[in-house]
Amino acid sequence: MTISELVRTDGTAEVTLGQLHDQAGQVDDDLLPCRANNPELWFAESPADVENAKALCQACPVQALCLDGALERREPWGVWGGQLFLQGVVIPRKRPRGRPRKNQAAA
């Protein structure tokens, strides 16, 4: 089974990557921020770059479809539909690399 064949357990089709590509294929590449810019920005390590990708997604004509699909597929990583995904869930922001603070309450 490929990712484009995934179907929910209730038998209804989820938004597949194929559908997203079909929708995106009808839109000029210049209007899709993740195609018009360096796509690595959407999988960046730097929190600032991730926030930049999220902001760029806001102008995307397929943003809602992209986000719905990413939620349904439980994307493991990256910015999709203007949100950052990690292990299948949306997280508010990417933490910088390094050890956590000793006193989390002070953060």
Which positions lie near ligand SF4, rule CB under 6 A? 24, 32-34, 42, 57, 60, 62-63, 66, 79-82
Per the structure block, which two tokens stand in for 96?
Answer: 């910088």
Binding-site positions for [4Fe-4S] cluster read: 34, 57, 60, 66
Cα 102 to the center of its chain, rounded Å = 31
Residue 99 CB neighbours (<10 A)? 5
Nearer to ligand SF4, 15 or 60 (CB): 60
Q: Which is nearer to ligand SF4, 52 or 63 (CB)?
A: 63
The Cα–Cα gap between 31 and 23 comes to: 12
Of the pair 15, 32, the CB lying nearest ligand SF4 is at 32
